[in-house]
Amino acid sequence: MRLDHRLDHRLLRLSLAFCGASLLVGCDADQSSLLYVFSTHHATPENGGFPKRGEDDQPRVFDNDLGWTITLVESYVTIEQVTLISCSGSALPLNMFWGPCPEDLRDEDLQTLTVAGRKLDPGDYCELVVDYGQYRMPEIEPGADDTRHEVPENEAVDGTTVYLRGAAQMGEDGELIEFEFRGSGSQSVALDLTTVDDGHALRVSETEAFPEELTISKTYDRFFDGIDFADYDPDDAEDELDDILEDQTQVQKGQQVFIADDGDG
């Protein structure tokens, strides 16, 4: 059964608005400022907008740059840790609320998923470091609710950082070529925050009425750039996943993802 994690996250944020506190401290008189980090995904922008490549909980269908039609049946990217860096150089690991987050790329595009957060001292913050790492299936006793993240049903996701399964086809009558890519590399992606807040670094005031919010976003269609499924090496394709993920990860303030001025998304 799929967990309705998005409802949990909306209720969490609603409780914050009333309590002025976080999961970390509960509802009390502490007026420390809070930061929440969300994650989402989308297809590469086209014509000034985000094209729709599939419905919620359905495969994503799109063409790669060589004309192959990709049907992405199952796909996950795992965020293991998030760290905020102050402009003075202090590293502040965020609390991963429910542990490493396996983001299901079949979830509705641009729907945000709560990942991490913490209380912050007033000041300016210049960098967000996202650690992508291998997902480990949690050991959950029957009837227990030890995780709010949706647990992948496919055990092949275990031990992967990027997991992509589906099929490729050239033309309507072409042969369906199935693929399964299992990227298992761990990497840290440093995201610049020096202009994220209306041209300035992320600035946290002493007593914010509502939490500050940052959203990490990534594309899912660019993983297949340059792959000719008629003649390709799956190992080579897997070796490229880390670099593509780094190139396609960005951060913006708030929960609404907008298209970058250069059109790269």
pLDDT (mean) for 14-36: 49
Residue 23 reports pLDDT greater than 80 = no
Q: In a 3-state reduction of DSSP, which class is residue 114?
A: strand
What whole-number distance in Å separates Cα of residue 233 and Cα of residue 214? 37
Is the pLDDT reported for residue 34 higher than 80? yes
Where residue 67 falls (left for φ over 0; alpha for ψ -120 to 50; beta otherwise) is left
Model confidence at 232, pLDDT cuts 50, 70, 90, reads: very high
Task: Give the tens place of pLDDT for each residue, 127-174.
Answer: 999 999 999 988 655 554 555 788 899 999 999 999 999 999 999 999
Average pLDDT over residues 96-112: 95
Phi, psi of 261 (to 5 degrees): -60, -30
**112 vs 199: CA distance, rounded Å:** 23
21, pLDDT greater than 80 = no
Average of pLDDT values for 13-41? 57
Q: Is residue 5 scored above 70 in pLDDT?
A: no
pLDDT score of 209: 74
